[in-house]
Chains A and B, each alone.
Chain A
Amino acid sequence: MKKTLFDKVWDAHVVSSVTDGPDVLFIDRHMVHEVTSPVAFLGLKNRGIKVLYPERTFATADHNTPTMNQHLPVADALSAKQLEALEHNAAEHNISYWGLGHEKNGIVHVVGPEYGITLPGATIVCGDSHTSTHGAFGAIAFGIGTSEVEMVLSTQCIMQPKPKSMRIHIEGMPGKGVTPKDVALYIISKLSTSGATGYFVEYTGEVFEKMSMEGRMTVCNLSIEMGARGGMIAPDQTTFEYVKGREFAPKGCDWESAMNYWSTLHTDEGASYDKEIILNGPEIEPMITYGTNPGMGTGISGSIPTAAQTEGSKESYKKSLDYMGFSENEPLLGKKVDYVFLGSCTNGRIEDFRAFTSIVKGRKKADHITAWLVPGSHKVRQAIIDEGLYDILTASGFELREPGCSACLAMNEDKIPAGKVAVSTSNRNFEGRQGPGARTMLASPTVAAATAVTGVVTDPRTFTD
């Protein structure tokens, strides 16, 4: 029988199926962080059971951590308590723990791939919706709730109905200056925030084949923003070269046999998907969002659509623009911006810092812009320094922070003040996401960089042409 990539990986992990119910899906690798795990560990304690396979779970602290002065005690008492709980739970259950200050510490979806925890053909879950990131390697990776974290800790399985499959194919290459973030925001703007709910997506087309692993991670990361449980890209030479030699990746004979299996991980010719979407690559330009969900995005040279031009409730649309302080038909270029945030599991990797630096090099940050540059991990931070990007950024008036989720969800002190407009490379522009009353415009690292220099929404292509 002809199978899709998704079918192959899913079917290989089904322990059993419940009649008119979910599949029991075996989970190869499980990542935990401080926010969605404490209640799950408490559940284990209440049931009097231990973690079944501690070597399959990896813990890092990221959501709640400060991005300045990480060597000092965490000032926020509740955050400190949550971090202590994770450290304690990891020690009690014999789980690898990369806490604050650990050289391997960083955002869960950045460090997983960096250390070879993320592998093609694996099932990977974490109590975080952006677990879809790991699909870039041809893994089935998705976010779960805390009850499911408890399931994985206690039994290494979760119970899931098999999602439907969707292929998103991009025909033709986008033009110069279009980044993976733009490709993803474009897809979401076409499908809406619920257009892929109930589906697991496979991305196909030349643009994805030519993308780096970092770019593929950005695309798969944002799959959840159109409602999909996850998104994946068939592993290829780019994938294998990235994985090879990483600490937790298979070695020697194991590598050979893994490669034999991984090379079968592609959709068979003639296999069918439940839904197929075909989009036109050359149509994509650098993107930016203007509303309060990631589907409310447009090409940067465009204007804010009118309520009449959009689908869905007109009241909800107007509420959204009111929150942003924007009006219908306003152009996006030239809009005044107060904050720029570079970072997150979407765009906090080395390639994102290279892209940002390439734009700001030899230029200065606009005086009125507050810029927060937050690497996704210590490894990324070290690479920024080693590659000389740090010196360029400093010369341009930017500071580099320490790793963490930071202003993406503003759980720590990195909050955009009420009413301020931020161009952010993160993943959500929901009301209050970056702080109560904060107004977020999502964009790529290059749009963020060009905007940081001019102080207004700017097309980075005007800097590079």
Chain B
Amino acid sequence: MAYDKFTRLTSSVVPLPIENVDTDQIIPARFLKATERKGFGDNLFRDWRYHQDGSPKADFVLNNSTYSGKILVGGKNFGSGSSREHAAWAIYDYGFRCVVSSFFADIFQNNCLNIGVLPVQVSEDFLQAIFSAVEKDPSASVTVDLDSQTVTLDATAQQERFEISSYKKQNLQNGFDDIDYLLNIESAIKDFAQSRPF
């Protein structure tokens, strides 16, 4: 599925200063029963966000109208656990286009890139600087610029460069996905398949 292009984003952020946020927290398994990719945002962080009777938990950040924005900022080792792409879908469907953390789990990071959500890995110091800035001023904005591969805390102009392969960067900038690429080299793939013994 081709996705929205990503070039530059300036937005206030939603802070989630918890480490090791696993994909079972992002979207619990019991909400993976859909056969289409829609509605997952309703259950994003379901068990942190709602009591079992369905009423919102007042102290969870998504229920606090002070915080909003298209950038989710999470603690170290964000997205560990299950390979469920539903976690990335839920984040996208809720309205986020970018996730910032000081460390990402592998599969989650791949899943985000494959659906057009940009994972931005920053240093632990920069991550803490964002959390502090947002604590002081919940409307503090962050700018993520894909072309220059920079992330900027706008209030202080503090800036860091982030890594992304030039292949993935171009994909995001153009809204292409890997299948577009692979279908273009199908004859090479078929030749290769002939050489596989099993």
Contact = CB atoms under 8 A, between A and B. Distances in A.
Given A127-B83, A148-B110, A409 B196 contact: no
B157 interface: no
Interface of B: 1, 17-20, 22, 24-25, 28-30, 32-37, 47, 52, 75-77, 80-86, 88, 103-107, 110-111, 114-115, 165-168, 177-179, 181-183, 185-186, 188-189, 192-193, 196-198
A35 B32 contact: yes
Interface residues of A, number: 80
B163 to A, nearest CB: 11
Contacts of A411: 29-30, 32-33
Given A144-B107, A147-B85, A193-B77, A16 B35 contact: no
A156 B30 contact: no
Nearest to B113: A147
A79 interface: yes
A28 B35 CA distance: 26
A156 B179 contact: no
Interface string A191-233: 0011001100000000000000000000000000001010000
Given A147-B115, A161-B165, A194-B80, A430 B33 contact: no
A66 to B, nearest CB: 13
Ranked 6 nearest A-B pairs via Cβ: A21-B167, A145-B85, A143-B83, A147-B114, A145-B111, A78-B33
B52 A436 contact: yes
A436 B85 CA distance: 21
Interface stretch (A254-262, A267-275, A297-305, A389-397): A254-262
B165 A193 contact: no
A336 B177 CA distance: 51
A145 B103 contact: no
B20 A157 contact: no
A208 B58 CA distance: 49
22 contacts: A24-B185, A35-B33, A38-B35, A43-B179, A49-B183, A79-B33, A82-B34, A143-B107, A145-B107, A145-B111, A150-B179, A155-B182, A157-B189, A194-B20, A197-B103, A197-B104, A227-B105, A258-B197, A315-B18, A411-B29, A411-B33, A436-B28
